[in-house]
């Protein structure tokens, strides 16, 4: 697989070329957490994380939901 460069929360990250958003979350240690993902200024539905491909130059903002009362 080839490697691509993307931005995650403003930082350069090298990811696998044919990977999905779910693969990216696994790579950066956020899989299984309650996160919201924005790709190129578009909110990505959680149901598509395993299908949506990550492309060279994509810009992600990923935030973790914090519970509390």
Is the domain covering 3-64 a CATH 3.40.50.2300 domain?
A: no
Global confidence as pTM:
0.90
pLDDT, average across residues 13-39: 94
- Cα torsion 55, 13, 9, 31 to 10°: value is 80
Break the chain into its structural domains and give their ranges.
3-64
CB atoms within 10 A of CB 20: 17
Banded pLDDT at 16 (limits 50, 70, 90): confident
pLDDT for residue 13 is more than 90: yes
**pLDDT for the residue 17:** 84
Question: Per DSSP, what are the bridge partners of residue 42?
Answer: 39
- How far is CA 64 from each of CA 2, 3, 42, 53, rounded to the nearest angstrom? 28, 26, 17, 21
Tokens found for residue 7: 């931005």
- For 2, left (φ over 0), alpha (ψ -120 to 50), or beta? beta
């Amino acid at each position: 697989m080839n490697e691509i460069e993307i931005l995650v929360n403003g930082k350069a990250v090298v990811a696998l070329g044919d990977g999905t958003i779910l693969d990216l979350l696994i790579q950066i240690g956020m899989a299984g957490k309650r996160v919201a993902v924005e790709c190129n200024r578009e909110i990505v539905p959680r149901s598509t994380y395993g299908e949506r491909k990550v492309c060279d130059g994509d810009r992600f903002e990923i935030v973790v939901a914090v519970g509390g009362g």
